[in-house]
């Protein structure tokens, strides 16, 4: 798709999601506007994110829980277009220019938390991206608003959610599609959901970049608009 077409599609998607805002359902079994949900920072500005804290997933998990407990929170949210240092824990993101720019929104809370489809759609594709630091079990749904087709991606899920899925399967709004996976089956991360909005999958199935190089931020931000158009959290 030409760059101009992608920009037009992203703009149209934003317009439609705002138009149908009241008809969008929840993505997780939490009130993302509640006072006990906080914004979490995983950029270099967070001094708690030392190399030692990030190396072992169990230690990283304790750190996430510490950040929540200090604010008496049950969940943390954030990360869209955040330049993060947490990807240094995995060789998956190491390139000449390391990938560090996050393209989705993460919701950090207890493993087993239910994940729902916010809009009706179809199962586009799914797979277990099992490398250390990857998405782990991943589902991509295809949706349509008026004449516009777009996609939502759900990463770091539980392995069991993939067992009975079929490509092309109809998914109803509000249908439970998965749960937050525990580590290590979720790509070996502290339990959280990576939620991403995508206008063009560029031929990919069961996977799509959730982190890009800082130099690619502008182009990826066009094909991956702000997921808060669906999540509608006041904390972002």
- Tens digit of pLDDT for each residue in 208-234? 999 999 999 999 999 999 999 999 999
> What is the C-alpha separation between 104 and 142, in angstroms, rounded?
16
Could you tell me the pLDDT band of residue 6, with boundaries at 50, 70 and 90?
Answer: confident
Question: Does 147 fall in a domain?
Answer: yes
Which tokens sit at 165?
A: 């899925």
Instruction: Tell me the CATH number at 32.
Output: 2.70.70.10
Q: Running DSSP on this structure, what letter comes out for residue 130? A: -
Between strands 75-78 and 101-102, the pairing is unpaired
| 175: in domain | yes
Q: Quick check: is 236 in a domain? A: no
pLDDT at 84: 97
Give yes or no for a contact between 100 and 61, defined as CB atoms under 8 angstroms apart. Answer: no
pLDDT in tens, 176-197: 999 999 999 999 999 999 999 9
Whether pTM exceeds 0.75: yes
Question: Domain tally for the chain?
Answer: 1
Is the pLDDT confidence value at 1 over 60? no
**Inside any domain, residue 145:** yes
Alpha carbon 36 to its chain's center: 20
Range of the domain at 49: 3-231
Matching residue, tokens 């009130």 = 31
- Tens-digit pLDDT profile for residues 32-51: 999 999 999 999 999 999 99
As a whole number, mean pLDDT of residues 63-88 equals 97
Task: Examine residue 224 and state whether it is found in any structural domain, yes or no.
Answer: yes
Confidence of residue 5 (pLDDT cuts 50, 70, 90): confident
Calculate the alpha carbon distances from 159 to 164, 186, 190 in Å: 11, 8, 15
Is 16 exposed, middle or buried, given 0-12, 13-18 or 19+ CB atoms closer than 10 A?
A: middle
CA dist 73 → 28, 31, 179, 195, 211 (Å): 16, 12, 20, 20, 26
């Amino acid at each position: 798709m030409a760059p101009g077409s992608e920009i037009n599609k992203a703009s149209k998607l934003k317009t439609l999601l705002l138009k149908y805002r009241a008809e969008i359902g929840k993505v997780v079994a939490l009130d993302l506007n509640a006072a006990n949900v906080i914004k979490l920072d995983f950029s270099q500005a967070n001094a708690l994110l030392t190399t030692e804290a990030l190396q072992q997933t169990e230690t990283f998990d304790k750190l996430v829980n510490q950040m929540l407990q200090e604010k008496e929170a049950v969940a943390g949210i954030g990360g869209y277009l955040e330049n993060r240092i947490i990807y240094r824990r995995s060789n998956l993101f190491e390139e000449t220019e390391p990938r560090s720019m996050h393209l989705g929104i993460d919701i950090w809370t207890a493993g087993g938390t239910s994940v729902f489809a916010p809009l009706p759609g179809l199962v586009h594709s799914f797979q277990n991206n099992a490398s250390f630091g990857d998405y782990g079990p991943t589902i991509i749904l295809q949706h349509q608003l008026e004449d516009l087709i777009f996609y939502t991606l759900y990463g770091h899920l539980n392995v069991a959610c993939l067992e009975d899925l079929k490509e092309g399967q109809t998914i109803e709004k509000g249908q439970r599609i998965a749960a937050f996976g525990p580590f290590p089956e979720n790509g070996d991360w502290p339990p959280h959901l990576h939620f991403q909005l995508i206008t063009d999958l560029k031929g990919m199935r069961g996977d799509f970049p959730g982190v890009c190089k800082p130099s690619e931020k502008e182009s990826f931000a066009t094909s991956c608009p702000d997921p808060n158009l669906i999540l509608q959290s006041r904390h972002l």
